[in-house]
Structure 1
Amino acid sequence: MTEQTNPILLPTSIKRVFQRILVVIVGVVAVAVFFLWPVLSNSPVDYADIENHFKYGSIGSEPINGIPYWIWKVLPELFPDKLPGKGYTSLGFIKESDKGLPIGFSQRRVFINRVGLNCAVCHTGTLRDNPNSEHQVITTMPANVLNLQGYIKFLSAVGVDERFTANRMLPEIEKISGGLNPIEKLLYRFIAIPQTRDALINQAYRLKFVEEQPDWGPGRVDTFNPYKAIQFHFPMEKLRQDELIGTSDFPSVWNQKPREGLQLHWDGNNTSVDERNKSAALGTGVTPTTIDLPRIARIADWLWELPPPKYPYEVNETLADKGKPLFASNCASCHAFGGAYTGKVVPIQEIGTDPHRLDSFTYETISNQNTLYAGYPWRFKNFRKTNGYANMPLDGVWLRGPYLHNGSVPTLRDLLEKPENRPKEFYRGYDVIDRERVGFVSDVAEENGKQYFKLDTKLDGNSNSGHLYGVDLSPEEKDAIVEYMKKL
């Protein structure tokens, strides 16, 4: 009797067929999982070291507003004509030799690897002892060399460029990536590249007002006007002219604990460090649905009691001792922790500094600001409109130049002069410390082929007027105060 006619052997035959089919199915599923799991996962790159986490860790900016990693990598190679020099470092981004991304960029896999911005992009800078010394990277200081406006303009320019095509990008991506897998190739060709271009075109449209502003220059940002355009969809062309410029310096972010309850941001519009942090996160591309609260909390915990960097150079202690009582009588009530007016707002009519940043934060902005994170326990509730600028504590002030809220005065010594005697023009972005006047050297226009940004205090948003405190002291007394402030 053959197998075909044996009723007992027939089920065994069928069983073997099903086993083979099952093996094939399992194999197909395994291959699919191998290729698709990285695509379907949402996994940031994490760092055990807290300072590396600050520099490179994700806070949630990648899923919606991040740029696919390989597109971001090839943009400088494909559009070198849109940059002032070679690569992203020509815009002041800081690149450590052993890292794949500049400081301030994080990576997360959302379908494909994407890059976004984090806290460090605005709060890490560099310092040199002299023109021939190495750049020292200092986290939590203001990003004194970063041209963020230049980065915005670069992305907008490449997005509208007709050369932004899959046919042009994919060969370059293949060359530097070592080869994409088949699924990644399809994702890049039909989804990632077209969607990125559309997003950059949309950004260019929403932020076109940035092209008409006076250049921010390195170390500065218009904090809330891009917010209005991106987060709130304000019709920027219909806003009043007096609110369209809000350029201000990046602040330091060390030592946050004693700042809780003080009026924060330059105009003192919030007293909550936590809300300030979540608001700043939105500026990096985070959204209410993508914010990574545990990773932001890790940074906030580190910053809470992080001391400012100590002045690393020699201090004339005799002169500093003379400056200490002068600081106490002329500055401490507004700028020392525990001072009667520290962390409080001085009306613009009294302080007399450039009003543009104050005017840019309007009641309409607040009404929209307080809807952010609606439906979440951390919805904003502390933003307020003020009538002036807040008195900031001066811890680590030696590393926070240029000075005033808009960075319009290059050194502390210049700030103690009357406005008419302060520099009308000076250069920003040069990172050699000025040990005598305290700040950064500001008279270097060019070094080794690199051109530095000339700040013109006559332009809107750049005025160096106001803050007349201490201007009538003698030159010797001013020198003594500056020497003492090196120790703060």
Structure 2
Amino acid sequence: MSESEKQKLLQKLIKKIWIFVIGIVLIVTGFVVWPLVSNNPVRYGDIQEHFKYGSIGSEAANGVPYWIWKVLPAMFPEKLPGEGYQSLGFIQEEGQDLPIGFSKRRVLFDRVGLNCAVCHTSTVRDTADSEPRIITTMPANTVNLMGYIKLLSATASDPRFNAREMIPQIEAIADNFNPIQKLIYRFFAIPQTRDALITQGERLAFLNEEPEWGPGRVDTFNPYKAIQFHFPMDRLDSDELIGTSDFPAIWNQKPRQGLQLHWDGDNDSVDERNLSAALGAGVTPTTVDLDGIKRVADWLWELPPPAYPYQINQELATVGEKLYENNCASCHAFGGAKVGTVTQLPKIGTDPYRLNSYTYELTSNQNTLYAGYPWRFSHFRKTNGYANMPLDGVWLRGPYLHNGSVPTLKDLLEVPENRPKEFYRGYDVFDEDNVGFVSDIAEENGKKYFKFDTTVPGNSNSGHLYGTELSPGEKDALVEYMKQL
């Protein structure tokens, strides 16, 4: 073999070696990098688990890196009312990594966001000594969402929110925090998250001027204005800046299609309402997980409300049924002439702040969302009152009225001056006699409950005088019947 032939053979061999080496590098890189850069939500086969922990897309836009989220309570315990996220009313199931209402998605690295269950799952106890039962799709009676929002802002502004102090905390609890993750967190995840949360805190600074929401409540649209549309919140009228209302129940959606939805009846499309609620949980039009949301929506379409689990006096309930038909059904029973329509504010007489917070300017902005897609918003409208809601599963909806200002159904049948002026929210022991949750417990086992003051702006328990003229016996019968709705 000539020297030139040997050279050619050697070059071919070297080329093959390089191709092999490059191939190995690409394969290894693929195994290492692909899991980091892929967009992978955690999925669940069981629909209940999917509802509680599945992604709707909030992590990709506003998610907190998983390990940062995990160490925040340990690093900043003084910024929480008690131990861990549970002190904010979030429900931690045994054997689960995240509380109900939190989901995980990998976008470069694992991130934690919110989903539907954060506002629509709670616990119910029969007595103070009973084990809590978790009930999905009911209002999240115990969750202090404002506390969680403020926690994120407060920790990000703390000088300890830095890689030097945070990474050792992560390494102390993480078995699989590898060198690549460490580099990503040190130079990207921690500084980027800190800056993003500070920016979010600045946009939501107006919340510091709002009355405390307390557990089970949220300002539906003012954070929406600030985050989605960058409204100049410091220039808005003061009457517009308090929009606090109760979390609603979300079962049995099929018969609600076409009714005026949200507390003020500003939309009559279930699908738009769902997408709008997802935006409120941190989703953006570019990160929304349509498949995840549709799966939940399909499940809710014909999901019945949980049946009343306690004893009912059927003889008394039979009397109450007639009273319900004569006094309540036209506004609150499916098929009623006024159900799903709006009663004007002067007639209903309830607190005006939630209504005032939803403005014509917001409507105009909302109807630009999802432009270019078949699901572009087009159904939002400004109204001048509150919608007459169907009362299926009403036993789990307390406290009552749109702002949760009346603790029980019995109290709602009293004239406003006789309704409790102060009571406690966030307690999950059920009140069988009055229908609602026990509301006179200020503290239990070291946990303090939220004192609700009806004289605070946005908290008025006025209005809805229907049924207040009934006799005490008639009121008892009416409430007994309503237990089984």
| Segment drifting more, 139-148 vs 288-297 | 288-297
Matched residue SS, 2:245: strand
CA contact (8 A) 1:409 1:415 kept: yes
Match of 2:224 in 1: 227
2:81 to 84, 87, 94: 84
Alignment partners' CA distance in 1, 2:309 and 2:296: 25
Match of 2:213 in 1: 216
Tell me the alpha carbon deviations over residues 82-104 of structure 1, each in whole angstroms, 9 at most, x when there is no partner. Answer: 10011111101111112111111
Match of 2:18 in 1: 21
- Displacement of 1:377 after TM fit? 1.5
Matched residue SS, 1:231: helix
1:58 aligns with 2:55: yes
Structure 1 gaps, min length 5: none
CA contact (8 A) 1:35 1:183 kept: no
Post-superposition, which runs of at least 4 consecutive aligned residues in structure 1 deviate over 4 A? none
Q: Aligned letter for 1:464? A: N
Match of 1:369 in 2: 366
Alignment partners' CA distance in 2, 1:211 and 1:254: 33
Matched residue SS, 2:112: strand
Alignment partners' CA distance in 1, 2:417 and 2:27: 74
- Displacement of 1:186 after TM fit? 1.4
Match of 2:110 in 1: 113
1:270-285 to structure 2, matched below 5 A, reads 270-285=267-282
Tell me the alpha carbon deviations over residues 75-125 of structure 1, each in whole angstroms, 9 at most, x when there is no partner. Answer: 111111110011111101111112111111111110001111111110001
Alignment partners' CA distance in 2, 1:246 and 1:457: 15
1:26-41 to structure 2, matched below 5 A, reads 26-41=23-38
Match of 2:455 in 1: 458
Alpha carbon RMSD of aligned pairs, Å? 1.0
CA contact (8 A) 1:262 1:343 kept: yes
1:54-453 to structure 2, matched below 5 A, reads 54-453=51-450
Match of 2:8 in 1: 11
1:487 aligns with 2:479: no
Alignment partners' CA distance in 1, 2:25 and 2:290: 37
Matched residue SS, 1:9: helix
Q: Aligned letter for 1:333? A: S
Alignment partners' CA distance in 2, 1:127 and 1:272: 31
Number of residue-to-residue matches in the alignment = 485
| Segment drifting more, 29-38 vs 67-76 | 29-38
Alignment partners' CA distance in 1, 2:22 and 2:414: 79
Matched residue SS, 1:275: helix
Q: Aligned letter for 2:126? A: D
TM-score by length of 1: 0.98
Match of 1:44 in 2: 41
- Displacement of 1:372 after TM fit? 1.1
Q: Aligned letter for 2:223? A: P
Q: Aligned letter for 1:461? A: G
Alignment partners' CA distance in 1, 2:16 and 2:377: 59
Alignment partners' CA distance in 1, 2:235 and 2:19: 64
Identical-residue share of aligned pairs (%)? 69
Alignment partners' CA distance in 2, 1:148 and 1:346: 29
TM-score by length of 2: 0.99
Alignment partners' CA distance in 2, 1:315 and 1:415: 20
Q: Aligned letter for 1:43? A: N
Matched residue SS, 1:366: helix
Structure 2 gaps, min length 5: none
Alignment partners' CA distance in 2, 1:374 and 1:65: 21
Q: Aligned letter for 1:136? A: R
Matched residue SS, 1:322: helix
Q: Aligned letter for 1:456? A: D
Matched residue SS, 1:383: coil
Matched residue SS, 2:451: strand
Q: Aligned letter for 1:111? A: L
Alignment partners' CA distance in 2, 1:359 and 1:7: 88
Alignment partners' CA distance in 2, 1:486 and 1:349: 29
| Segment drifting more, 414-423 vs 365-374 | 365-374
1:468 aligns with 2:465: yes
Q: Aligned letter for 1:424? A: K
Q: Aligned letter for 2:151? A: F
CA contact (8 A) 1:354 1:464 kept: yes
Matched residue SS, 1:116: strand
- Displacement of 1:187 after TM fit? 1.1
Tell me the alpha carbon deviations over residues 104-151 of structure 1, each in whole angstroms, 9 at most, x when there is no partner. Answer: 111111000111111111000110010001111100000000000000
Q: Aligned letter for 2:460? A: S
Matched residue SS, 2:323: helix
- Displacement of 1:305 after TM fit? 0.2
CA contact (8 A) 1:58 1:118 kept: yes
Alignment partners' CA distance in 2, 1:412 and 1:6: 100
Q: Aligned letter for 1:418? A: V
